[in-house]
Amino acid sequence: MNLRRLMNMRFCLSFGLALGVTTVLVTHRGEPVGNLEGPGIVYVYFPSLCAAPGDASDCKEIPRPSRPAFSSMAACSAYADQELKNEHNPRVMASCMKQREG
C-alpha cells in the first residue's frame, strides 16, 4: 500500500511539474525575431591606414566625405578588393560592416 501511494504521488508531482513548465513556455512566448538580413540592413565599406602592413592592431579610418553602402556582403567585398588593388599600398586595409539603415 505504501509503494502504491508513493508511485501515485511521484506521478502527480511529475505531471504537475510538466504541466507548469508547459504553461510557462506557452504563455510567456516573445515576439518572433525579425530577419536580420531583411530590409534596412546594408554593408558599409571602411578603409583604414595601418601602422604596419597586414597588422590590424594599430589602424586609423581613412576619412571620406561619404561611405559606400551595399545590399550584400559579397558586393561590399568585391568593391573592397577593387579599391585595395587601386591603392597599391600594403598598409591600407578594408572592412565591410553590417549596419541598419536609419
86-99 tens-digit pLDDT:
988 999 999 999 98
Q: Are residues 47 and 16 in the same domain?
A: no
Percent of the chain scored above 90 by pLDDT? 40
Total of domains in the chain: 2
pLDDT digits (tens, 9 = 90+) for 32-88: 555 455 567 899 999 999 999 888 889 999 998 988 999 899 999 999 999 999 988
Residue 42 CB contacts under 8 Å (≥ 6 apart), including other chains: 69, 70, 71, 98, 99, 100, 101
The answer to whether residue 59 sits within a structural domain is: yes
Give the Å distances, CA to CA, from 41 to 3, 7, 31, 93. Answer: 62, 57, 20, 23
* Assigned C-alpha cell, 5: 501511494
Please say if the pLDDT value at position 8 is more than 90. no
Domain span holding position 63 = 41-100
Q: Are residues 24 and 60 in the same domain?
A: no
